[in-house]
Structure 1
Amino acid sequence: MIPMLNDEFHFVRAGLRLKNRAVLAPLTHNMSEENGDPGRAELDWLARCAEGGFGLLIGAATQVQAGGRCWPGQPALMTDAQQSAFAKLTQSAEENGALALIQLHHGGVRAQPELNGTAPVGPGAIPPGGRYPLGVSALTGPQILQLIDAFVLAAERAHGAGLHGIELHAAHNFLLCNFLNPLLNRREDGWGGSLAGRARMLLAIVRGIRERLPRSFLIGVRLSPESYAHIEGIQLANQLALVELLVEEDVDYLHFSMGDSFKAASEDPAGGSLLAAVRAGVAGRVPLMVAGKIRDAESAKQALAGGADLVAIGSAAIGNPDWPKRVNLDLPLDQPPFETARLTMSGFTPRAQDYLRSFPGLVAQAS
């Protein structure tokens, strides 16, 4: 039976339920403080989305260790003050019958030197030049262990803030994705080589969280299914083989960032659906969340019919923080490019609006 958007969803092993299958995707909007403290505007916007009817909220990519920052207004979860601030997200979610997670992140090769005061790091060294004016420094074994601990500690802080779980960002050419990518990860020390070696860091983080926190604490993993834009080396076959390893580690869901949830798989010469390929690879063994061009009731229905258990709403939520309520009542949705006045009313700061304007067609250009 095909699930409907308003159907409940049960994370069986964690014993947690969602009131519907609409998920607020983790969205970067640069509304936190320069030191990583979650900003009031950021938390207020998430509260609007909770009030707007989302069953699950996933907070923006959140820094776990100094040196991994990618955006000037990126939140962090590394201090007691930051943990206390995120408790406000828990409160907003629970007041509206929703669950709330935070996405844990390290920028890897995409970390910005001007924000971190140092060259980015990755599985291997890259000489200075081009996209990497300071080059990329190869992480040592001890540094990898420190990073694993940083992710696990941030998850403990999320639990301390009352959040219902975390999502590990292993997509979009950030650190965990860098290690999974055989073109970037050519290590020969046990943190590379085979798929198991490339996935070792990610799996160690999952195990560390499971060892330290209750089984009711959700762990999700976000993955890119294939290469995109200028990024190369992410192959669907490798990502689906990784699914096998993550299923064994008892993750609660996999979140595939599809770019377009309805596109053909780039590696399928017959032009088969990417979603169908992912669905077949996951094979119902773990809940599947997808994001990418899910904009309205019809596209959400199409994604659920195609095999997704949960649909993550990204750009459409920027202009419609009440997206689930509007869809449920069959009310019209605001369409991009979103006007400045609409974004201001939703709580987006001028800096956030400047950032959002960098995405073509998303925000109306200032006159």
Structure 2
Amino acid sequence: MPSMGVTMSFEHLLAPGHIGTLKLRNRIIMAPMGDCLSNVDGTVSDNQAAYFEARARGGAGLLLVGSVSVSYPYGSFDERQTAASDDIYLPGLIDLTTRVHRHGARIAAQITHNGQMSLLDTANGRPMLVPAPPKAPKPDHISTMVTEGEVAAMMWAYTQPTSQLSYQAATESDLAWVVERFVDTSERCQRAGFDGVELHAGHGYLIDEFLTPSMNTRTDGWGGAVENRARLLVDILRAIRARLGPEFPLWIRINAVEHHKTDGETFEEQLRVIELAIEAGIDAVHLTAYASTDVATGPTDGYAPHRYVKDAVGSLTEYARILRSRVAVPVITFGRMEPDEAEEVLAEGKADFIVMGRKLLADPDLPNKLIAGRSDDIRPCIYQYRCIGNIFVRDSVHCVGNAQTGREHDLAVGPAASPRSVLVIGGGPAGLETARVLSQAGHAVTLWEAGTRLGGMLVHAGAADPLLERYLGWLIRQAEQNGVSFTLAKSVTVDDVRAAAFDEVVVATGATWGRPPLPGAELAHVFTVPELGAWLRDDGDQVGARVAVIGGGKAGLSLADLCHKRGRTVSVIEPTHVFAPELGIPGRFRLVADAEANGIDLVARATVTGIGEATVQVRVDESDRSIAADTVIIASGASPAPGLADALRAAGIHAHVAGDCHQLARIEGANLDAAAIALSLS
């Protein structure tokens, strides 16, 4: 996002709006995201309530609680899915809405039956309710790039003692029950203080399964023509209106299209469904997209877009523009937009409201910072996909760049009761984040950095990934604004620390990067990442035309992408079958697909046996292969550097540790360490 300061008023994004009778203070809506933050009985947890309250306090106009089950535990994805199917859930739901309203925001429940994704049914030996039994999956090759731990998590529903995979093609009585469950849940949400209800009619859940011809192969009155396939949605909407009346805000989330399906939903047919839904009484349309689950890039092609391109044919905002020209109700859109891009979408009349998901996970205070003219202070999302990706592997929603996301209750750090003087040693991401959170809590923080600039390895990472460069800039600005004192080019000894006599010491000196014990690893054309610092910033002839990157993690793929953009031919050598395992699954699949599309040679299950003057020798599946390389980049092999922390402790000086100096956990681990230190000193 460009620096906008106070020069942009965001007059459309921050203008009041309304959805039916629901009045909103601005046009920013928090995306409905399954969060797995509930307690294991579907009740609202302390962290979940605090998670939503943080976004209300941060200034969003409307919060959507995603994937609220209408029939929990039946028809549900996970035991930690938010439930509103019985009065036993009312106390937690009432507390949630009360906490949100306290800050002037509004809150709505997105209600759903998970259909063929009701894995809690499978785990407990119950059939999953569907319009018709689905086709057997045929995942593409990228979809298999998951770790053993991820496979175990993704297969949990099929590996319990009670597990049974079966389907129940919905009968008339089943569908009458479904309608009643949606009506009953809507009424309960109204009693709980929710300001509206969004029906989830997309993303492959039960209502959508009836809408799409790819799954609805019925020949009765619920299948065939689009009006028949829309019948379940329309019946639910009419029944809710009959129970709750015309004033209660009610709308739908619906796919514009389904990607990668020859028999999927088309925009023209979906427009007809929307027309029927409007006739049934909805107040708005939240337009999304879906894709075949057999295609690894389905999420980032559909409901979690990986880029925003203005006026791009087939983009969500273009579908929204067309829809808005045809309907009289508000249109809600989204799509990885920066605030200035969202403002432009609204100003050009393409939509009425903008949904933000990942950006509000990274910075709950984004709306308030826009209001205050402090857009440069917004913590950027670095798109590591550990938010949505966590749900794929049965983890709660979290954020690499914001340790508190999903832990707002557990990691609540307030002003320090007894402010202390703190020395932070190391100015990389761990040191900067620790300095930031401690100074924000009121401690007096001094940071010593051995190098001549701040950032550590993030300087090099940012050269290959602009999102990380932006994140580093934000870290430095925030530390400076909070009054952190910096000393650069400061090599630190135990005696230095003892003489300085700070109340607390934090060691955040990062990892060391070595060369693997391979024949040829010391050749002149072999470089570790830090040794390429000048080339990463300015290009040049240090790197030849043919590049082999050893290590297929996120760093390796980002370096390969940079080499490709600078005209090099690139191979990435990875000993496992999984590239970029640090990323959440949707982001990993996207990065791999883009690398393949760019012609980068991804060599999996490859063991490097030696490096020659112009080749790298590898062994792949019991076969030897020679990869041409004028330059070899070592993008793996970092190891913790605990030396200073150990020396301080040996000298009787207590030292906290943060980041890769004690364990390789990258930005996410560094931020968790910083939060834990701040909590211990609060």
TM-score normalised over the length of structure 1: 0.86
Q: Give the equivalent residue in structure 2 for 1:297.
A: 339
- Residues 240, 116 of structure 1: alpha-carbon distance in 2 compared, 3 angstrom cutoff: farther
Greater shift in the superposed pair: 336-345 or 163-172: 336-345
- Residues 243, 90 of structure 1: alpha-carbon distance in 2 compared, 3 angstrom cutoff: same
Give the one of 45, 50, 60 matched to 1:44.
50
Displacement of 1:206: 0.8
- In structure 1, distance between residues paired with 2:584 and 2:315: 31
Give the one of 174, 193, 196 matched to 1:162.
193
1:244-323 matches, within 5 Å, as 244-258=275-289, 259=303, 260=305, 262=308, 271=313, 274-282=316-324, 283-294=326-337, 296-304=338-346, 305-323=348-366
- In structure 1, distance between residues paired with 2:342 and 2:127: 40
Count of residues in Structure 1 that have an aligned counterpart in Structure 2: 356
Give the one of 84, 89, 113 matched to 1:106.
113
RMSD after superposition? 3.1
Q: Give the equivalent residue in structure 2 for 1:16.
A: 22
Structure 2 letter corresponding to 1:333: I
- In structure 1, distance between residues paired with 2:256 and 2:115: 19
| Secondary structure at the counterpart of residue 189 of structure 1 | coil
Matched, 1:120 2:162: no
Displacement of 1:302: 3.0
Bigger Cα Rg:
2
- In structure 1, distance between residues paired with 2:108 and 2:262: 27
- Residues 233, 154 of structure 1: alpha-carbon distance in 2 compared, 3 angstrom cutoff: same
Q: Is the 1:264–1:274 Cα contact (8 Å) retained in structure 2?
A: no
Q: Is the 2:122–2:166 Cα contact (8 Å) retained in structure 1?
A: no
- In structure 2, distance between residues paired with 1:34 and 1:315: 25
Matched, 1:235 2:266: yes
Displacement of 1:360: 2.7
Displacement of 1:272: 6.1
Q: Give the equivalent residue in structure 1 for 2:168.
A: 137
1:48-59 matches, within 5 Å, as 48-59=54-65
Displacement of 1:147: 0.6
- Residues 348, 236 of structure 1: alpha-carbon distance in 2 compared, 3 angstrom cutoff: farther
Q: Give the equivalent residue in structure 2 for 1:353.
A: none
- In structure 1, distance between residues paired with 2:408 and 2:136: 36
Structure 2: gaps spanning 5 or more residues: 1-9, 140-157, 159-163, 290-302, 385-398, 411-582, 591-665, 671-682
- Residues 192, 345 of structure 1: alpha-carbon distance in 2 compared, 3 angstrom cutoff: closer
Displacement of 1:171: 0.9
Q: Give the equivalent residue in structure 2 for 1:344.
A: 404
- In structure 2, distance between residues paired with 1:144 and 1:3: 45
Q: Is the 2:287–2:331 Cα contact (8 Å) retained in structure 1?
A: yes
- In structure 2, distance between residues paired with 1:145 and 1:345: 39
- Residues 357, 343 of structure 1: alpha-carbon distance in 2 compared, 3 angstrom cutoff: farther
Deviation by residue 1:235-283 (Cα, 9 ceiling, x = unmatched): 11111111211121120111012534956999xxxx4655334332342
Q: Which has the higher contact order (CA 8 A, sep 6+)?
A: 1
What is the aligned-residue identity percentage? 27
| Secondary structure at the counterpart of residue 59 of structure 2 | coil
| Secondary structure at the counterpart of residue 311 of structure 1 | strand
1:320-331 matches, within 5 Å, as 320-329=363-372, 330-331=374-375
Displacement of 1:230: 7.0
- Residues 73, 26 of structure 1: alpha-carbon distance in 2 compared, 3 angstrom cutoff: same
Structure 1: gaps spanning 5 or more residues: 351-355
Q: Give the equivalent residue in structure 2 for 1:211.
A: 242
Q: Give the equivalent residue in structure 1 for 2:651.
A: none
Greater shift in the superposed pair: 169-178 or 322-331: 322-331
Q: Is the 2:361–2:405 Cα contact (8 Å) retained in structure 1?
A: no
